[in-house]
Amino acid sequence: MSKQSATLLIQCDDQVGLVAAVTEFIQRHMGNVLHLEQHVDTDAFFMRVEWDLENFNLENNAVADAFEKQIAHRFSMSFQLFFSGEKQRMALFVSKLPHCFYDILSRYQSGEWDIEIPLIVSNHEDMRPVAEQFGIDFYHLPITADNKAEQEKRQVELLKQHKIDFIVLARYMQILTADIIDQYPNRIINIHHSFLPAFPGAKPYHSAHARGVKIIGATSHYVTADLDAGPIISQDVSRVSHSEEVDEFIRKGRDLEKTVLANALWKHMQRKTLVYKNRTIIFN
């Protein structure tokens, strides 16, 4: 897909003529729609449209302004505009567990994901050698009850300095405070090792084993101030049986966590997510 394209993510109150207005705008400027999806949730309207820029007669830097004036203003739309080829910048927060960390770095290094990872932040030194092996800057910012506010301030500085677009908590075992969360709304992605809302909090595999469930899961979600209660982006499950100890739940869970987090990141990177009323709209 080397075609140059533009993508609009649109949100507004539902009204007659929305799709017609947006598609007419694209057509009038000689664009050809490649993908279009819309969704109506009661009285709210959501749309993602991607079009070919080949014959499009507006310069990239003039599109947002034209769309605002010609369309968005009229319908009180909020919108995001992206162009293909823009690389997003991701920060990776880890602790001691390596599986999601290796998986993300492998996808990055092998070129599966067309992004930048300028920095890794951890409260432990354990993953430093892996970060170095993959050639990415590693910042060790140990967290204690006493220094949390200060270290988060340092984290925000690093994020700003590296122009980070979104943050991934790849089994980062610390709870972020509103000081960070509020600055990156719907841009911090966590992986929780249970099928939320079942088993929030710590040790979900132990709880799942104790409850005797026959299926375990993993959930990736945007981080909000409410622990493990943010908008869900992706979930998946795996069958377990009475013959499996907690160790085996954890082993199976690792593979779930890797793929569920990777799926959520892929959707986010492709600008296919919107958040509304603590739920996500995930475009195809």
Strands 116-122 and 137-140 turn out to be parallel
Strands 5-13 and 78-83 turn out to be antiparallel
Q: Which stretch binds a second copy (CB under 8 A): 32-40, 75-83, 143-151, 156-164?
A: 32-40
Can you read off the two tokens belonging to residue 20? 């017609």
Interface positions, 191-210, toward a second copy (CB under 8 A): 195-199
User: 155 or 280, CB closer to a second copy?
Assistant: 280
For 231, half-sphere exposure in the C-beta direction (CA atoms, 13 angstrom radius) is 18
Place of tokens 């799709």: 19
For 262, half-sphere exposure in the C-beta direction (CA atoms, 13 angstrom radius) is 18
Are 197 and 204 within 8 A, CB to CB?
no
Can you read off the two tokens belonging to residue 180? 């960070």
Q: Which stretch binds a second copy (CB under 8 A): 62-70, 145-153, 166-174, 259-267?
A: 259-267
Give the residue numbers annotated as catalytic, written as ranges: 228
Q: Which of 36, 141, 158, 246 touches a second copy (CB under 8 A)?
A: 36
Tell me: does residue 95 bind a second copy (CB under 8 A). no
Are 119 and 162 within 8 A, CB to CB?
yes
Tell me: does residue 40 bind a second copy (CB under 8 A). yes
Q: Could you give the CA distance from residue 223 to residue 43 in angstroms, rounded to a whole number?
A: 26
Tell me: does residue 253 bind a second copy (CB under 8 A). no
Site string for a second copy, 150-189 (x = CB under 8 A): ----------------------------------------
Q: Which of 6, 117, 120, 232 touches a second copy (CB under 8 A)?
A: 232
Interface positions, 112-141, toward a second copy (CB under 8 A): 112, 130, 133-134
Q: Could you give the CA distance from residue 281 to residue 207 in angstroms, rounded to a whole number?
A: 30
Tell me: does residue 214 bind a second copy (CB under 8 A). yes
Are 267 and 273 within 8 A, CB to CB?
yes
- Which residues lie near a second copy (CB under 8 A)? 1, 14, 16-20, 23-24, 26-27, 30-41, 98-99, 102-103, 106, 109-110, 112, 130, 133-134, 195-199, 211-215, 217, 231-237, 239, 241-243, 247, 251, 254-255, 259, 262, 266, 278-282, 284
